[in-house]
Amino acid sequence: MLQAAPRMTLVLGGARSGKSAHAEALIEACPAPWTYLATAQAWDDEMRERIGLHRARRGEGWVTRDVPVDLSAAIRATRGPVLVDCLTLWLTNLMMAEADLAAAFEDLAAACAAAAGPLVLVSNEVGLGIVPDNALARAFRDAAGRLHQRLAREADRVVFLVAGLPMVVKPAGGPA
């Protein structure tokens, strides 16, 4: 059974783990309208198809804003229930732009802390597999891990999705 979203929930999981659908259900437990902050960029046909499937799954009541880089400002400018999907695509966009990751992470954490909520953040947990064979992939994996740790400290609840099943890692009101 889904619980209504607390002020801030971090939803982590692997590819196709069900994290986006779970996050959408958390937000839809709140009164509409709901804002979907999308970080994906449609660089190719396959990504355009993925974006289309996500959009088609969301029904009435959703307002979608594309925010590939300036996520913190979008969170600050949005009122009501907000879903961010996904942080690892946002991280990719930042790395491609050679942004200052530490500064971006702190700015995002500050924006999340100031959000009235409910705010649900979705991200891929990429650090559970083998060590990547190249420096860029290792840098990405390490940066994602640092981002997740930073936001998990701020989050009221952290949920890890495995095979469509949510496991609450940090319950609302749990340890910081």
Q: Which residues does the annotation mark as catalytic? A: 54
Pairwise CA distance, residues 7 & 24, whole Å: 15
Burial 107-146 (b: 16+ CB within 10 A, else e): bbbebbeebebbbbbbbbbbeeeeeeeeeeeeebbebbee
**DSSP secondary structure string, 79-107?**
-S-EEEE-HHHHHHHHHHTT--HHHHHHH
